[in-house]
Amino acid sequence: MLKIAIVDDHPIVSDGIHHLIEQQYDMTMVEVFSNAASLFTWLLNNDLDILLLDIFLPDKNGMEICLELKLHYPDVKIICFSSQQEAVIISEMMKRGASGYLLKNANSSEIIEAIRKVASGEEYFCEKTSLTLKNFRASLKYLPKLTRREKDVLALIKQGNTTNTIAEKLFISPHTVESHRKNLMEKFQVKNMTSVVNRANELGLI
């Protein structure tokens, strides 16, 4: 019997998953948590096979929880259960030890399939996250090559700094900053810096 738990601070989500799990012959919902602290307190004296984990919780984010679980409870398999569909977030959660990723609008059959596959040692992505990751990985083949200075300028632009402020902080001329802006737009093949920043965020460059 697979022991399942969920960490989610939305009762309507937890209740729905609880009901679904209890209908399965080979699974049982052993506990429902609304925050990370209660999860780790419970794990001190209890065993768990699969954890359904929301990414944004009141006390810790999913990436921190993944790292801590893999360090102290490596046998617990983690399935992210989130409304977040950004490729960078999905990729980072998997790097930190998650074995699956489901969107909260996944249907019942996807949730059960994910649990069974992850329990058997496989990874699982729902259809939408699988497509998101596929497109993301394809885009990495065309990842712009940025110089150190271009990365510095891009980071400061993201923070909302003006050209003159960037020039002062980096001890370069405003003309040089504008040249870097132009080069960044050319490398990302976009027409404005807002698009550069958005694209760089998607690719995990800043």
Q: Which residue has the tokens 């810096």?
A: 193
What sections of the chain are H helices per DSSP?
11-22, 36-43, 62-72, 87-95, 108-119, 127-140, 148-158, 163-170, 174-188, 193-202
| Partner residues linked to 178 by β-bridges | none
| List of domains in the chain | 2-139 (3.40.50.2300), 148-202 (1.10.10.10)
Is pLDDT at 138 greater than 70 in this prediction?
no
φ, ψ at 115 (rounded to 5°): -60, -45
Per-residue model confidence (pLDDT) at position 69 = 95
pTM of the model: 0.69
Per-residue model confidence (pLDDT) at position 190 = 85
Do the Cβ atoms of 128 and 103 come closer than 8 Å?
yes
Query: Is the torsion defined by CA of 7, 131, 139, 77 positive or negative?
Result: positive
Mean predicted confidence (pLDDT) in 51-65: 91
Distance CA 77, CA 50 (A): 5
Amino acid at 115: I
Mean predicted confidence (pLDDT) in 172-188: 93
Chain mean pLDDT for the chain: 90
Looking at per-residue pLDDT, the higher value among 190 and 47 belongs to: 47
Per-residue model confidence (pLDDT) at position 142 = 65
Do the Cβ atoms of 136 and 195 come closer than 8 Å?
no
Six-digit token string for 93: 């959660």
Is pLDDT at 139 greater than 80 in this prediction?
no
DSSP-assigned states of every residue in 70-81: HHH-TT-EEEEE
Amino acid at 185: M
Per-residue model confidence (pLDDT) at position 90 = 87
